[in-house]
């Protein structure tokens, strides 16, 4: 695995790659199987500086067609076996720390479309969570803007128009698509 693509702003998390669990995965599991993405691409998402993240999409699989400034697509497992072997057990603790790190360093908008991705809400600092549920095109403007809030969209309620309204209220550029 190539760690060179990781932006320096993620440095506080690099110690996670020295844990016994990760070293076992890297040295014992991965060498015995074909896996994706290729070794040089595993940490590609971490080339984005933490400070540039506006929206985090937590998904089971990579949304490779979604490449946009400020949109951080975090897979629940950074690798998977060629035969669809699930590697999430090896990545779970790291992903939880990534989520907490982003939420503390740069509170933003979180898109959690699945039940599994929604379980990661537990890794957001509790007093910073603002659930964006049951808001319509009129009431979305009533959501308070606070730079310390992590705004959470869950399930099928992910609405690009509402995301863009929140981004604009926070003084950030809007997303074009996802």
Q: pLDDT tens digits, residue range 47-80?
A: 999 999 999 999 877 655 566 789 999 999 999 9
- Does residue 176 sit within a domain? no
pLDDT digits 0-9 by tens, 109-136? 999 999 999 999 999 999 999 999 889 9
- Does residue 61 sit within a domain? yes
- Compute CA 136 distance to the chain's CA centroid, rounded to the nearest angstrom: 25
Beta-bridge partners for 73? 57
Q: Residue 56: give the domain boundaries.
A: 8-169
Average pLDDT over residues 98-119: 96
- Does residue 1 sit within a domain? no
Supply the CATH number for residue 49's domain. Answer: 3.40.470.10
- Does residue 80 sit within a domain? yes
For 99, the enclosing helix (H) or strand (E) is helix 88-105
Q: Cis peptide leading into 34, omega within 30 of 0?
A: no
Output the CA–CA distances (angstroms, integers) from residue 58 to 15, 27, 94, in the order listed: 22, 27, 14
- Does residue 175 sit within a domain? no
Distance CA 116, CA 154 (A): 11
- Does residue 82 sit within a domain? yes
Q: Report DSSP state, residue 86.
A: B
- Does residue 86 sit within a domain? yes
pTM for the predicted model, two decimal places? 0.92
- Does residue 113 sit within a domain? yes
Distance CA 68, CA 178 (A): 8
Counting the structural domains of the chain, the total is 1
């Amino acid at each position: 695995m190539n760690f060179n693509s990781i932006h320096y702003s993620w440095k506080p998390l690099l110690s996670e790659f020295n844990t016994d669990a990760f070293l076992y995965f890297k040295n014992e599991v991965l060498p015995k199987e074909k896996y994706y993405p290729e070794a040089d691409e595993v940490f590609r998402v971490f080339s984005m500086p933490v400070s540039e993240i506006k929206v985090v999409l937590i998904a089971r699989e990579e949304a490779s067609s979604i490449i946009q400034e400020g949109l951080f697509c975090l897979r629940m497992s950074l690798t998977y076996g060629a035969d669809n072997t699930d590697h999430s057990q090896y990545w779970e603790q790291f992903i939880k720390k990534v989520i907490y790190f982003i939420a503390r360093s740069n509170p933003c908008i979180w898109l959690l479309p699945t039940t599994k991705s929604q379980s990661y809400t537990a890794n957001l600092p509790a007093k910073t969570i603002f659930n964006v549920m049951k808001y319509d095109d009129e009431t979305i403007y009533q959501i308070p803007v606070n730079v310390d809030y992590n705004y959470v969209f869950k399930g099928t309620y992910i609405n690009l128009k509402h995301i863009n309204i929140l981004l604009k209220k926070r003084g950030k550029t809007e997303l074009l698509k996802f």
